[in-house]
Structures are given as C-alpha cells and as structure tokens.
C-alpha cells in the first residue's frame, strides 16, 4: 500500500514536511518532544542521517521512534558511511519495519563533520543508490542474487535550483528521475521568482517538488549562508528586513518570512509542497505554519 506521504503528494494537496535531527547520544527526550509537537501538523517527518557528517543517533532509529509515536517518517540515506552491502541491508530493515519513503542523498563530506579522520565510503552515489532500490524492488540485490522478499519504496532525492553552474546540477536531477526519484526536496530557496523559473523547467517531469524552507533566525545567519553555503542566496531585501527587526525580534521576523514564502508558494501553486528545516529550532515550526495561514 502506498504511504500516506505518497498519497498526499499524489492527491494534489500542498504537502508539508519537516525535519527531525536525532540527538548525539542516547537521551531521546528532546527528539520525542519534537516528534510529538509536529507529527500531526505535517504530512511527514524527514529524519536526517548524520547531517553535516556529525555522528548521531541513526536515522532509522529516528524513523522507528516517529512510527511508534504515530507519525509518518521519511528515511534519509546518505552514501557517506555505508558500502553497498550495508545500504541494501538497511533498506531491507527499513522496509520490514514499515518505512516506505526514502530520501537518497550523496551525503556531506567527512571533513566538514566531527569525526574528521573517518573514511568516507561513497561506494555508491545518490543516483546509484536510487537504481539499487529499483533492483531491490525487482527482487535481487546488487550482486544479482535473488531476494527472499523484495521491497517497495517511494524514493526521493535533492536538487539545488541555484547551483552555479546550474546545468550539471540539472543533468544530475534528470539522472535521478531516470533512476526512479519521484519526489524532490530542494536546497533552501529564498528568491521566489528564480524558484518559479526553476519550476517551469521542473514541471516537464512527472515528479513532485518540495521547496526547501530554511528558517532565517538573524541577518547574520542570512549573510553567513549566502557567503558560505553552496547554492543558497538570500536576497538583500530579506537580509535588510531581518536587520531592521526590533532588538530580539529577528527570529520572529524569520518566522514571518518563512510563513510568507510558504503562503506564496501554496497560493500560486508554484510547487507541490515545502520541506521546512528549522535547524535546532523545531519547536517554532508550528509558528511558521500559523504564519503561513495553515492551521493544523
């Protein structure tokens, strides 16, 4: 049976997902709080896989916790830490436990993380991981050996609409579609006109696009991301808007901006939904939804 997330996307509804970052350690209380706060307010919760190459409680563990608490998980899988044997095995486990939605990523580089001497695996890349899932669905593993029980998964991937240069990024986007990616989560977008242009191009493919919404918590953060994060450009007007917020009010302004963007994307049917990344401020996601005029 199709997952609720897939059903939601195929229903034409404007879909909202958010993110759960598992903790570093075995104390899961904070993660449980975030899950309980968000599980009924969004269509699915996307669990990060050692995001930024920082070692944490595993993504599959976060997904199991979400299901136990009545939410709907999307399992993020990166290619950084596991070879093809381990990735396939984890996909079997995820399927067996009821996970149906997988986001396939290359994974950040090891040196940006907190175990910097680790070996980066990258036995597969994101396109190959998507193809591997197709093979597991067809009933065999990557060695061509028959499975006793296959998987059936709804797979997605990421795209950076403002990558420079853009064409290699779009070629890879199309390779991911050919490999069976059905939904895409974008890198954070802030310039809606430019995003609308990307969507004109993306609309020719039979895939669902969730715009990446990263909460801006201050003008400083906005400038930092523009200067340092590949493919993220915060327009000057938004930076000014944050800078002009009253003292202590920048976060509130950031929530307002995120809400406004979501409302705009939704009202003008620019894309199929949004993926909200509040990065360590998951507790304000409901405020963002309220600011967008979405009542849960």
Partner 1 sequence: MKSITKQKPFDEVKQLIETFNRIYLIGCGTCATMTKTGGIDEVQAMKELLHDEGKLVTGWVVIPTACDEMTAEMIAENEKAVQDAQCIIVMACALGVQRVNSSWQKPVIPALDTLFVGLEEGPGEFFEACDQCGQCILGETAGICPLTACHKGLLNGPCGGTNNGKCEVDPEKDCAFTLIYERLKEQGRLDLMRKYHPPKNYQVMPRPRKTMVLPERGK
Q: Which position among 125, 137, 191, 264 is part of the footprint of partner 1 (CB under 8 A)?
A: 125
- In order, the DSSP letters of 8-19 are HHHTT--EEEEE
Closest residue by Cα to residue 8 from 36, 32, 44, 33:
44
Q: State yes or no: residue 48 binds partner 1 (CB under 8 A).
A: no
Site for partner 1 (CB under 8 A): which residue of 4, 30, 41, 175? 175
- The closest alpha carbon to 253, from 291, 280, 293, belongs to 291
Q: Could you say which of 48, 59, 132, 217 contacts partner 1 (CB under 8 A)? A: 132
CB 211, min distance to partner 1, A: 15
Question: Is residue 46 near partner 1 by the rule CB under 8 A?
Answer: no
104 binds partner 1 (CB under 8 A): no
Question: Dihedrals φ, ψ of 78, to 5°?
Answer: -105, 165
> Minimum Å distance from CB 129 to partner 1?
9
Only one of the segments 11-19, 158-166, 197-205, 235-243 lies at the binding site for partner 1 (rule: CB under 8 A); that segment is 158-166
| Residue of 76, 106, 155, 217 interacting with partner 1 (CB under 8 A) | 106
Shortest distance (Å) from residue 74 CB to partner 1: 17
Q: Which is nearer to partner 1, 177 or 292 (CB)?
A: 177
Chain centroid offset of residue 225 CA: 18
Give the tokens for residue 277: 């990344």
Q: Does residue number 168 form part of the binding site for partner 1 (CB under 8 A)?
A: yes
- Residues 283 and 35 sit within 8 Å (Cβ to Cβ): no
Angle at 40 between CA 37 and CA 46, to 5 degrees: 80
Compute the distance between CA of residue 33 and CA of residue 182 in angstroms, rounded to an integer.
Answer: 30
CB 233 within 8 A of CB 162: yes
CA distance 291 to 121: 41
Using rule CB under 8 A, residue 109 touches partner 1? yes
Rounded to a whole number of angstroms, the minimum distance from the CB of residue 133 to partner 1 is 13
Region from 29-37, 124-132, 199-207, 255-263 binding partner 1, contact rule CB under 8 A: 124-132
Q: Is 263 exposed, middle or buried (0-12, 13-18, 19+ CB in 10 A)?
A: middle
Is residue 165 within the footprint of partner 1 (CB under 8 A)?
yes
Helix axes 250-267, 236-243, angle to 10 degrees: 140
Residue 27, number of CB atoms within 10 A of its CB: 10
Q: Answer yes or no whether residue 152 interacts with partner 1 by CB under 8 A.
A: no
Determine the interface stretch with partner 1 among 173-181, 233-241, 243-251, 280-288 (rule: CB under 8 A): 173-181
Q: Footprint of partner 1 on this chain (CB under 8 A)?
A: 80, 84, 106-109, 111-112, 120, 122-128, 131-132, 142, 158, 160, 163-165, 167-169, 171-172, 174-175, 178-179, 187, 230-231
């Amino acid at each position: 049976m199709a997952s609720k997330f897939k059903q939601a996307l195929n229903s034409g509804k404007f879909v909202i997902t958010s993110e759960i970052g598992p903790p570093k350690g075995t104390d899961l209380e904070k993660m449980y709080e975030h899950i309980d706060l968000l599980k009924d307010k969004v269509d699915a919760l996307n669990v990060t896989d050692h995001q930024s190459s920082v070692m944490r409680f595993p993504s599959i563990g976060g997904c199991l916790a979400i299901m136990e608490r009545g939410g709907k998980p999307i399992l993020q899988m990166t290619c950084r830490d596991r070879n093809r044997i381990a990735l396939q095995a984890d996909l079997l486990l995820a399927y067996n436990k009821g996970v149906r939605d997988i986001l396939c990523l290359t994974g950040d580089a090891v040196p940006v993380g907190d175990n910097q001497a680790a070996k980066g695996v990258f036995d597969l890349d994101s396109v190959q991981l998507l193809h591997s899932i197709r093979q597991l669905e067809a009933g065999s593993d990557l060695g061509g050996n028959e499975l006793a029980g296959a998987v059936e998964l709804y797979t997605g991937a990421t795209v950076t609409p403002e990558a420079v240069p853009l064409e290699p990024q779009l070629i890879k986007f199309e390779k991911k579609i050919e490999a069976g990616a059905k939904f895409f989560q974008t890198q954070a977008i802030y310039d809606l006109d430019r995003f609308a242009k990307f969507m004109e191009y993306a609309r020719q493919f039979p895939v669902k696009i969730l715009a990446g919404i990263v909460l801006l918590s201050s003008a400083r953060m906005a400038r930092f991301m523009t200067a340092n994060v590949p493919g993220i450009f915060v327009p000057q007007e938004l930076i000014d808007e944050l800078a002009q917020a009253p003292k202590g009010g920048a976060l509130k302004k950031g929530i307002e901006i995120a809400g406004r963007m979501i409302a705009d994307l939704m009202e003008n049917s620019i894309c199929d939904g949004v993926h909200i990344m509040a990065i360590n401020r998951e507790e304000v996601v409901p405020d963002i939804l309220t600011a967008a005029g979405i009542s849960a």
